[in-house]
Amino acid sequence: MRDACFALVGCLLSAGVAYAQTAPPSGKTLASTMNVYVFPQSGQAADKQSTDEADCYTWATTNAGVDPFALQKQASAQQQQTQAQVQQAKGAGQGAGAKGALGGAAAGALIGEVANGNASQGAAWGAALGAVGARRHAKERSQEAAASAEQSGAAKQQATAEQIENFKKAFSVCLEAKQYLVKY
C-alpha cells in the first residue's frame, strides 16, 4: 500500500512538472513581436522568460550590431523611398513629346525648305517624327530608371532582411543557452 501511495504521488508530481514545462507563458512576448517563438524547456516562469528575452535582446543587439526594430523602420522607409523613385522615374518622360515635336519641326522646316522649297510641310513631318521619337526615347529612359530604382530598393531590402536574420540567430543562440527551445 505504501509503495502504491509513493507511485501515485510520483505520478502526480511528474504530471505537474510536465505541465509546468509545456504551459507557454501567456501574452505577447518580446520574441513573438519579432516572429521568434520561444518555449521554456526547464519550466521557466513567464517573468523569467521575459527577463531572459530582454537580456538576450541586448546581447544580440550588441553582437549582431543591429536593432531589429530600427531595421524594420528603416526597411519601411526604404520601401517608401523606392516607390517615390519609381513614380518620379515614370513621370520624368512627361513633356518629351512636345519638346521632340519642337525640335523636329525646326529640323523639318530647314530640310523642307532646302529639299523642295516648302518649309511648312517639312516642319509638320519633322514635328510628327520628333514627337514620336522623343516619346519613345523618354519612355525607354523612364522604364530603365524605374527598373534601376526597383533593383536598388530590392537590394536594400535584401540587405536589411539579412541583418534581421543575423540578429535572430544571435538572439536564438542566447536563448538556447538559457534552456529555451527557439524557432523562427
Distance CA(33)–CA(17), nearest Å, equals 28
Q: How far is CA 160 from the centre of its chain?
A: 7
Distance CA(113)–CA(78), nearest Å, equals 54
Residue 27 near residue 128, CB atoms below 8 Å? no
Distance CA(34)–CA(172), nearest Å, equals 12
Best mean pLDDT range from 42-46, 74-78, 101-105, 130-134: 42-46
Q: How many CA atoms lie within 13 A of 106 on its CB side?
A: 5
The three three-digit cell numbers of residue 177, written as one number: 543557452
Distance CA(124)–CA(102), nearest Å, equals 10
Q: How many CA atoms lie within 13 A of 57 on its CB side?
A: 17
For the cut 50, the answer to whether the pLDDT of residue 49 exceeds it is yes
- Provide mean pLDDT across the span 31-39: 94
Q: Give me the residue spans of the domains in the chain.
A: 71-162
| DSSP class of 38 | E
- State the sign of the Cα–Cα–Cα–Cα dihedral 45, 51, 56, 61: positive
- Mean per-residue pLDDT over the chain, rounded: 76
Contacts of 129 (CB under 8 A, 6+ apart): 104, 108
Compare 6 and 130 and report the one with higher pLDDT: 130
pLDDT digits (tens, 9 = 90+) for 58-117: 999 999 999 999 998 988 888 898 888 888 877 765 655 565 555 665 565 555 555 566
Distance CA(16)–CA(8), nearest Å, equals 12
Percent of the chain predicted with pLDDT > 70: 62
Compare 119 and 34 and report the one with higher pLDDT: 34
**Per-residue pLDDT at 101:** 58
Look at residues 74, 80, 34 and name the one whose alpha carbon lies nearest to residue 54: 34
